[in-house]
């Protein structure tokens, strides 16, 4: 049978030789065929890049264990900057180091595409329209350990595996893995991590994974989650498409198409579902489909894993048409842009084909590519913060890409009824942004007028406001808080809380007035303009216009800079009255009623971001506000970069704060960019700001919003215009960073879990609903979630440039039952009910393990095959050796089928 196969090969060579001869210059790389080792391959690719910089770019995707580069050569007519909507394609070969045909074919393909670009029309078109990445070797270390002419793997799979003796095609996260603790990268090989990162971070559309040891195209899924070894299909939602992709390769390959190229295997039409052939847990193919937008098919190219080099021209001839057609398949189906009303790309939108349970998501340029077979489909796009697009009918034809763009509207979903109601009265706003100019608005609101104003807002906008008092001042005035949100009444897990507090010093009144105007502005604009609608839909906003209503009543209009009315009715400065990280002193030893009420309130809601509005200066002041005893000057918090950014967000959006000009009363006091560290300016112990950050987990700034403490009423319109955008912009920062839910593996919310960011010695905690919010700047962070009684979990999280990323975590209970389930194959009696087992029990447990973990465990009867009394459990990665015995009784064919699958 082996001879017959060789005979077939020869027949093919002679039939293909016509084409080669008719076009000899194109394939001169086939002369003197031999394999290139790592150094030769590196040099060749560097040379190709140097000679053809406009169409070839060499990239290292990562390093092997022995520090060899995992090279990928990009070939495209615009390697400098991929043209919008050009699909990305990749081939990855030689993942098993001793399966080498694909590796050398990639070297040939690179030369073929580059040499023929501009000469051959088909090649030119392909390189013009497709961003092609060729990775000849994912396992360069394994290759160097392999031996030309070896058709089977060496003993111990030397060469197949990487330098750490790991099979890389069993090392990827699998969709059927139970919940892992630690990071998704923990314990994985450098080659695997490099490829995982590459696959997830680039918008690949189609991919081929080139192997050897059989001749067949094998498509997802490779795994069914069962403990079977083979023989049942595990279909993906795109099964028909995958079959067609596999057939495209197989039917153009003269040996593969018959399905009987090698001795043992038979494949109908040269293709197979992966799990049907044999189950692979942790393979790269399924990882591509499950975790990225990329469709990958595995191609087994040769019966002999490492055939002699003289077969290579034949292999090229056999595979060339298949390879080209497979790359061309990147253009099947539909592609287009998903944009918002302004034409801006919508990132990470789901592009849904109705009836197919597999979405494609948009790239950071709003592009998508949806491979589809010819036919008629219904499609739509959906993205967080947007209304789903219209459903469209899309016709897909063979050999032509359908273009279908989607345009999306930001959603303000929750309160649609309300908005329609609002919409009926056509709205026009005055220059201050208010409905119907209200001549009475810009005045000083004393306590009773303020209460009246609050009640009027509350009455006018019952659906989006919630007015309540959080306590009383010394003289019995209410400390009013207006909550404004699409869900004003109570915290919704997943929706962050924001607050502004003003007038803590009774004679600093600008903030008090601005918060009244702000509530009117927010209510009047909700459902009318996108910015405010998005804000109130995504955030619950609390406005406390006066924390010190008693002091206010003692102070007087026109006061530039005095201290009259600064303190509360007991003449205590409330901004010295909070518990301090360094000092207990005469100012904060006894809490004032206002302080106590505000502290209780702050701790009752999961506040994320806050500002305390003062005046008498023009600067955004960030933690810390004071120093440990014996120190002076700047005192930075662990979140200094974030605080600086937040301070900038206010200062930059303010009409003049960012200019850093001095206030007339303090001509020498200038603040670069209008921001300052509190302690650097002057030390304040017992301030509210640091307490918010350190105790309540809420990031707070103290913002001085004007040079004069109690300006005349005629100045108020200008203050409003100067600060309006800054007030809105600052609130929007609540929705930055990382947020999500911490739950147990059974879905129960975990309260009080710590969210730690590597390198930052400050953490926030999850709230009752398991929800948490961590403001962070764009970038990558290693985030650890810790909760008492649970195993902690660390993962790298990417914070996007705008907005936040959802990062939900399930923590595993740290108890014997869960531990056993996760790590000890569920044999809970090992830890729960320690006892000696009878022989029968031992037999049963070991046999059970073989059934469940048959890829690593063999229940064998010592070396004698006969004795039923001496038994042992063998746990090994060398499964095939045991499978021969295990299946001997039930027939040789099946066992050899299994073996050949296991080793290919």
Ligand X SMILES: *[C@@H]1O[C@H](CO)[C@@H](O)[C@H](O)[C@H]1NC(C)=O
Q: Which is nearer to ligand X, 408 or 857 (CB)?
A: 408
* Residue 449 interacts with ligand X (CB under 6 A): yes or no: no
Distance set, CA 172 to CA 184, 188, 286, 293, 609 (Å): 9, 8, 9, 16, 39
3-state helix, strand, coil in the chain (%, to 5): 35, 20, 45
Structure tokens at 883: 């499978």
């590519």: which residue's tokens?
369
- What's the closest the beta carbon of residue 555 comes to ligand X, in angstroms? 26
Least CB distance from residue 779 to ligand X, whole Å?
Answer: 7
Minimum Å gap between C-beta 460 and ligand X is: 9
Residue with the two structure tokens 């040939």:
108
User: Applying CB under 6 A, which of residues 208, 336, 549, 606 lies at the interface with ligand X?
Assistant: 336
Binding characters for ligand X, 418-437, by CB under 6 A (x = yes): xxx--x--------------
117-125, 259-267, 822-830, 881-889 -> range binding ligand X (CB under 6 A): 117-125
The DSSP bridge partners found for residue 367 are 337
What are the counts of helices (DSSP H) followed by strands (DSSP E) for the chain?
A: 25, 35
Does residue number 455 form part of the binding site for ligand X (CB under 6 A)? yes
Q: Are strands 295-302 and 214-219 parallel, antiparallel or unpaired?
A: antiparallel
Stretch touching ligand X by CB under 6 A, among 296-304, 512-520, 600-608, 774-782: 774-782
To the nearest whole angstrom, how small is the minimum distance from the Cβ of residue 423 to ligand X?
4
Site of tokens 């930059």: 652
Q: Which stretch binds ligand X (CB under 6 A): 274-282, 414-422, 551-559, 694-702?
A: 414-422
In the complex, what is the shortest distance from the CB of residue 402 to ligand X, in angstroms, rounded to a whole number?
Answer: 9
Which of 99, 508, 513, 704 is catalytic? The answer is 704
Query: Under the criterion CB under 6 A, does residue 352 sit at the interface with ligand X?
Result: yes
Dihedral of CA atoms 208, 214, 218, 222 in degrees, nearest 10, equals: -100
26 vs 715 by CB, closer to ligand X: 26
Q: In the complex with ligand X, which residue's Cβ is closer, 469 or 880?
A: 469
Our CB check for ligand X shows the closer of 46 and 390 to be 390
Q: Select from 128, 325, 570, 744 the one that contacts ligand X (CB under 6 A).
A: 128
Is residue 409 close enough to count as binding ligand X by CB under 6 A?
A: no
Closest separation between CB of residue 618 and ligand X, Å?
34
Dihedral sign computed on CA atoms, order 433, 436, 439, 441:
negative
Among 403, 632, 832, 847, binds ligand X (CB under 6 A): 403
For position 111 contacting ligand X by CB under 6 A, the verdict is no
Note whether 780 binds ligand X by CB under 6 A: yes
Using the minimum distance from each CB to ligand X, give the nearer residue, 76 or 610: 76
- Our CB check for ligand X shows the closer of 759 and 834 to be 759
Nearer to ligand X, 705 or 783 (CB): 783
The DSSP bridge pattern shows strands 497-502 and 540-544 to be parallel
Binding segment (CB under 6 A) for ligand X, from list 260-268, 459-467, 629-637, 826-834: 459-467
Q: Is the dihedral of CA 75, 81, 87, 92 positive or negative?
A: positive
Of the candidates 213, 215, 196, 217, the one whose C-alpha atom is nearest the C-alpha of residue 298 is 217
803 Rama class: left (phi>0) / alpha (psi -120 to 50) / beta? left
Decide: is 796 part of the binding site for ligand X (CB under 6 A).
yes
Q: Which stretch binds ligand X (CB under 6 A): 215-223, 322-330, 775-783, 848-856?
A: 775-783
Considering the complex, state which of residue 70 and residue 903 has its C-beta at the smaller distance from ligand X.
70
Ordered strands of the 675-677 beta sheet: 465-472, 478-484, 540-544, 497-502, 607-614, 699-706, 617-622, 675-677
Residues 820 and 814 sit within 8 Å (Cβ to Cβ): no
Q: Pick from 371, 467, 679, 783: which binds ligand X (CB under 6 A)?
A: 467
Stretch that binds ligand X, among 20-28, 196-204, 779-787, 881-889 (CB under 6 A): 779-787
Q: Is 829 a catalytic residue?
A: no
The one among 119, 125, 490, 852 contacting ligand X by CB under 6 A: 125
- In angstroms, give the least distance from the CB of 755 to ligand X: 15
Q: Report if residue 518 touches ligand X, rule: CB under 6 A.
A: no
Choosing from 144, 152, 239, 350, the residue that interacts with ligand X (CB under 6 A) is 350
Residue 186 beta carbon to ligand X: minimum distance, rounded to whole angstroms: 9
| 137 in Cβ contact with 94 (< 8 Å) | yes
Task: Confirm or reject binding of residue 176 to ligand X (CB under 6 A).
Answer: no
Written in H, E and C, the secondary structure of 95-150 is CCCCCCHHHHHHHHHHHHHHHHCCCCHHHHHHHHHCEEEEECCCCHHHHHCCCCCC
Scan for tokens 């710590």, then name that residue: 754
Phi-psi region of 675 (alpha: psi -120 to 50; beta: other; left: phi over 0): beta
For residue 204, is it left (φ>0), alpha (ψ between -120 and 50) or beta?
A: beta
Q: Is 77 in the site for ligand X (CB under 6 A)?
A: yes
Q: Which residue of 43, 47, 60, 782 would you call a contact of ligand X, by CB under 6 A?
A: 782
Contact string (CB under 6 A) for ligand X, positions 188-227, x = contact? ----------------------------------------
Rule CB under 6 A: say whether 359 interacts with ligand X. yes
Question: CB count, 10 Å around CB of 789?
Answer: 10
User: Is residue 417 near ligand X by the rule CB under 6 A?
Assistant: yes
Confirm if 175 and 286 have CB atoms less than 8 A apart: yes
Name the minimum Å distance from CB 451 to ligand X: 9
**Residue in 99, 300, 508, 786 annotated catalytic:** 300
Q: Provide the token pair at 39.
A: 């150094």
Residues 401 and 397: their CA atoms lie apart, in Å, by 7
Indicate the residue among 98 and 238 with the shorter CB distance to ligand X.
238
Shortest spacing between CB 295 and ligand X, in angstroms: 15
Site size toward ligand X, by CB under 6 A: 33
Q: Coil, strand, or helix at residue 842? A: helix
Q: How far is the CB of 174 from ligand X (least distance, A)?
A: 18
Q: Contacts with ligand X in 701-760 (CB under 6 A)?
A: 758
897 CB-near residues (< 8 Å, 6+ apart):
230, 264, 265, 278
Residues in 366-395 that interact with ligand X by CB under 6 A: 382
Buried b (16+ CB within 10 A) or exposed e, 597-625: bbbebbeebbbbbbbbbbbbbbbbbbbbb
Buried residues in 250-260 as b, exposed as e (16+ CB within 10 A) = bbbbbbbbebb
Per the annotation, the verdict on 300 as an active-site residue is yes
Answer yes or no whether residue 411 interacts with ligand X by CB under 6 A: no
Q: Which residue, 548 or 794, has its beta carbon nearer to ligand X?
A: 794
**CA-closest candidate to residue 549, choices 480, 482, 616:** 480
492 touches ligand X by CB under 6 A: no
Question: What's the rounded Cα separation, in Å, for the pair 353 and 349?
Answer: 13
Q: Does 50 participate in binding ligand X (rule CB under 6 A)?
A: no
Return the sign of the alpha-carbon dihedral for residues 622, 625, 630, 632.
positive
Indicate which residues carry an active-site annotation. 300, 704
Where on the chain is the footprint of ligand X (CB under 6 A)?
77, 81, 84, 121, 124-125, 128, 336-337, 350, 352, 357-359, 382, 403, 405, 417-420, 423, 455, 458-459, 462-463, 467, 758, 780-782, 796
């Amino acid at each position: 049978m082996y001879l017959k196969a060789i005979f077939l090969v020869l027949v093919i060579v002679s039939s293909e030789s016509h084409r080669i001869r008719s076009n000899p210059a194109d394939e001169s790389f086939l002369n003197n065929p031999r394999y290139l080792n790592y150094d030769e391959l590196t040099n060749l690719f560097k040379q190709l890049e140097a000679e053809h910089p406009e169409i070839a770019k060499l990239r290292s995707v990562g390093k092997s264990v022995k520090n060899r580069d995992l090279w990928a050569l990009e070939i495209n007519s615009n390697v400098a900057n991929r043209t919008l909507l050009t699909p990305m394609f990749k081939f990855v070969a030689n993942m098993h180091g001793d399966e080498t045909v694909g590796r050398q074919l990639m070297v040939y393909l690179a030369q073929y595409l580059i040499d023929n670009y501009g000469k051959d029309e088909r090649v030119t078109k392909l390189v013009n329209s497709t961003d092609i990445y060729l990775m000849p070797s994912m396992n360069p270390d394994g290759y160097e350990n392999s031996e030309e002419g070896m058709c089977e793997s060496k003993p111990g799979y030397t060469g197949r595996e990487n330098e750490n003796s790991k099979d890389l095609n069993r090392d990827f996260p699998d969709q059927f893995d139970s919940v892992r603790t630690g990071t998704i990268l923990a314990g994985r090989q450098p080659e695997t991590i490099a490829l995982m990162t590459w696959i997830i971070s680039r918008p690949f559309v189609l991919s081929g994974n080139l192997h050897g040891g059989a001749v067949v195209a094998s498509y997802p899924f490779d795994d069914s989650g069962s403990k079977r070894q083979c023989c049942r299909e595990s279909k993906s939602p795109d099964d028909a498409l995958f079959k067609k992709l596999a057939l495209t390769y197989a039917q153009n390959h003269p040996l593969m198409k018959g399905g009987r190229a090698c001795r043992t295997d038979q494949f109908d039409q040269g293709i197979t579902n992966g799990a049907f052939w044999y189950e692979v847990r942790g393979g790269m193919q399924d990882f591509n489909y499950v975790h990225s937008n990329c469709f990958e098919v595995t191609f087994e190219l040769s019966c002999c894993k490492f055939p002699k080099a003289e077969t290579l021209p034949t292999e090229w001839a056999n595979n060339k048409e298949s390879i080209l057609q497979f790359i061309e398949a990147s253009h099947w189906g539909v592609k287009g842009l998903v944009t918002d009303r302004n034409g801006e790309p919508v990132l990470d939108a789901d592009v849904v084909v109705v009836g197919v349970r597999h979405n494609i998501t948009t790239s950071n340029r709003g592009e998508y590519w949806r491979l589809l077979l010819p036919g008629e489909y219904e499609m739509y796009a959906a993205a967080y913060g947007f209304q789903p697009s219209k459903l469209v009918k899309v016709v897909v034809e063979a050999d032509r890409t359908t273009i279908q763009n989607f345009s999306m509207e930001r959603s303000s979903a929750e309160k649609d009824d309300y908005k329609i109601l609002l919409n009926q009265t056509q709205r026009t706003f005055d220059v201050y942004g208010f409905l119907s100019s209200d001549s009475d608005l810009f005045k000083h609101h004393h306590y009773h007028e303020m209460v009246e104003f609050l009640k009027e807002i509350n009455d006018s906008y019952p659906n989006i406001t919630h007015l309540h008092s959080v306590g009383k001042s010394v003289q019995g005035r209410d400390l009013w808080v207006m909550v404004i949100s699409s869900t004003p009444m109570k915290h919704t897990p997943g929706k962050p809380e924001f607050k502004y507090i003003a007038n803590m010093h009774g004679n600093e009144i600008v903030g008090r007035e601005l918060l009244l105007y702000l509530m009117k502005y927010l209510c009047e604009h909700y459902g009318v303009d996108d910015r405010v609608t998005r804000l109130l839909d995504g955030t619950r906003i609390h406005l406390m216009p006066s924390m010190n209503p008693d002091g206010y009543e003692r102070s007087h209009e026109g006061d530039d800079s005095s201290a009259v009315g600064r303190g509360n009715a007991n003449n205590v400065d409330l901004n010295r009255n909070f518990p301090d990280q360094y000092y207990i002193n005469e100012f904060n030893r006894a809490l004032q009623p206002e302080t106590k009420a505000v502290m209780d309130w702050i701790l009752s809601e999961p506040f994320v971001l806050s500002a305390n509005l003062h005046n008498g200066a023009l600067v955004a002041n960030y933690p810390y506000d004071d120093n440990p005893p014996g120190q002076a000057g700047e005192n930075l918090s662990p979140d200094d970069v974030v605080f600086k950014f937040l301070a900038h967000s206010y200062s930059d959006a303010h009409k003049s704060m960012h200019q850093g000009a001095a206030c007339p009363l303090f001509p020498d006091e200038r603040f670069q960019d209008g921001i300052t560290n509190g302690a650097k300016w002057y030390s304040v112990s017992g301030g509210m700001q640091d307490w918010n950050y350190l105790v309540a987990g809420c990031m707070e700034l103290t913002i001085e919003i004007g040079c004069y403490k109690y300006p005349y009423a005629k100045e108020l319109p200008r203050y409003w215009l100067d600060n309006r955008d800054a007030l809105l912009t600052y609130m929007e920062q609540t929705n930055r960073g990382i947020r999500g839910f911490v739950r147990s593996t059974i879905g129960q919310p975990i309260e009080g879990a710590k969210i730690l960011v590597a390198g930052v010695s400050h953490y926030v905690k999850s709230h009752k609903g398991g929800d948490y919010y961590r403001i962070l700047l764009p970038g990558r962070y290693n985030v650890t979630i810790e909760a008492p009684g649970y195993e902690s979990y660390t993962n790298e999280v990417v914070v996007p440039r705008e907005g936040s990323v959802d990062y939900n975590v399930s923590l595993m209970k740290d108890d014997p039952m869960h531990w056993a389930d996760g790590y000890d194959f569920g044999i809970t009696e090992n830890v729960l009910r320690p006892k000696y087992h009878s022989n029968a029990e031992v037999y049963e447990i070991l046999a059970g393990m073989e059934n469940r973990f048959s890829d690593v465990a063999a229940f064998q009867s010592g070396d004698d095959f006969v004795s039923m009394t001496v038994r042992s459990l063998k746990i090994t990665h060398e499964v095939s050796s045991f499978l021969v015995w295990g299946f001997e009784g039930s027939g040789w064919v099946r066992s050899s089928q299994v073996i050949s699958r296991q080793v290919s």
